[in-house]
Amino acid sequence: MPTVTVDAETTRDVALPVEVRRADAVVVTWLVPLDAATRALAGHEVAAPLEPVPMARGRAMVTMPFVRYLDGDLGSYNETGLAFVVRRRGDDEVASFIAHLPVDGAFTCAAGRQLWGFPKWVADDLVIERGDRGGRSLLDAGDGSTVEATSGRGLVPLPAREVALTTYAGAEGTLRATPFTMRSAGLRIRPAGTTLRVTGDGPLVSDLRALGLDRRRPVSTLWVARLTGTFGAARDV
């Protein structure tokens, strides 16, 4: 059983796979020019074995999740981030690469980095609010930059689903692959649906601007009322 070290006085054993028992989320998806996604991905040296998956009309897909983890093995916390839809060069398996993953808790930050290489850092502030008509997420990244997302509530219901995928990350300089299974219910989707505002020039905001997400309409905004899942053991790539 791996041990997570938060600081000199705080350690905790964590059993794998790690279970998420209750969460909710808003997931915003954009299609961006493939060359812009390729350049942004290349800015993360650890992602060299990966490439964006080409979509129709020379596009690639990127997503921003805004997740409230309410109960799970790593406790309760808020999380957002930026992920690319990718594949390994010479391989057709579709996966994701997590480029940024700010959170509002020290333990989940340490666990994410040490267990899976997730690029987590503790934000100065991360507020994720939900309401009957929509939601708002506000990140103070702690580096002089902010990200604000205002989302309309999903309109069209979708059936519950279970997805198993591989997630790549490399916060400690080594690319690692983590198997992740997500079960979601209470799904509602709408076209576009989110406005993104950014300030400053920190690493996350720089990637968002390079991809044009602060001025580009998203393809969709997906509301997930009930989210559960498991994160397995990572392996070096």
Per-residue H/E/C for the chain: CCEEEEECCEEEECCCCEEEEEEEEEEEEEEEEHHHHHHHHHCCHHHCCEEECCEHHHEEEEEEEEEEEEEECCCCEEEECEEEEEEECCCCCCEEEEEEEEECCHHHHHHHHHHHCCCEEECCEEEEEECCCEEEEEEECCCCCEEEEEEECCCEEECCEEEEEEEEECCCCCCEEEEEEEEEEEEEEEECCEEEEEECCCHHHHHHHHCCCCCCCCCEEEEEEEEEEEECCCEEC
pLDDT band (50, 70, 90) for residue 184: very high
Q: How many domains does the chain divide into? A: 1
Supply angle C-alpha 5, 146, 209, rounded to 5: 105
Using the structure block, give the residue that is written with the tokens 């509002």.
104
In angstroms, the Cα distances linking 71 to 21, 143, 201 are: 5, 29, 33
Over residues 15-39, the pLDDT tens digits come to: 999 999 999 999 999 999 999 999 9
Over residues 74-129, the pLDDT tens digits come to: 999 999 999 999 999 999 999 999 999 999 999 999 999 999 999 999 999 999 99
Report how far Cα 160 is from the mean position of its chain's Cα atoms: 20
Confirm whether 117 is domain-assigned. yes
Confirm whether 111 is domain-assigned. yes
CA distance 130 to 137: 9
pLDDT, the chain, mean: 97
CA distance 164 to 126: 27
Q: What pLDDT does 122 receive?
A: 98
Q: Which amino acid is at 154?
A: G
Q: Residue 64 maps to which CATH number?
A: 2.40.400.10
Domain range for 170 is: 23-227
Q: What pLDDT does 132 receive?
A: 87
Confirm whether 236 is domain-assigned. no
Q: What pLDDT does 8 receive?
A: 80
pLDDT at 9 over 90: no
Report how far Cα 79 is from the mean position of its chain's Cα atoms: 8
Confirm whether 237 is domain-assigned. no
Confirm whether 79 is domain-assigned. yes
Confirm whether 10 is domain-assigned. no
Q: What pLDDT does 137 receive?
A: 98
Confirm whether 235 is domain-assigned. no
pLDDT at 205 over 90: yes
Confirm whether 171 is domain-assigned. yes
